[in-house]
Amino acid sequence: MSVAYEYTGIATKPDVEGIMQGVADSAMTDKSIEYCNWDQTTEILNVYFTNTLSGGDKTILDGIIANPPSPNPQYGITLVSSNGTHWRVIVDDEGVLTTEEVQ
């Protein structure tokens, strides 16, 4: 059963990706974040974890919610062609796809 942590007064759409990445990159001992749910009408953000967080982990989560890290605006994977050339395929936040050869 999921455990919800509620944050009130979140007037603007939260950066859920930044929150998820912040948890992954943090010093939290329990990183079992499942998902986030924000209600624009009530300005409530619920962050769901698999387990109950320790006091220290909750403090870290509070800091992440207050100042979520900026996610990298580009997502990429590296592919290897049949001739051994490495290519990085990048998709930015607007959905624009680019490729670049990786040395």
CB 18 within 8 A of CB 30: no
Q: What pLDDT sits at residue 6?
A: 97
Domains and CATH numbers, the chain: 3-66 (3.30.70), 73-103 (no CATH)
Q: Are strands 44-49 and 74-80 parallel, antiparallel or unpaired?
A: unpaired
Residue written as token pair 């994977």: 77
Q: What pLDDT sits at residue 31?
A: 93
CA pair distance 60, 69, nearest whole angstrom: 13
The per-residue pLDDT of the chain, averaged, comes to 84
pTM: 0.66
For 7-59, the pLDDT digits (tens) are: 999 998 888 888 988 898 899 999 999 999 999 999 999 999 999 999 999 99
Q: What pLDDT sits at residue 92?
A: 67
Q: Name the pLDDT band for 77 (thresholds 50, 70, 90).
A: low
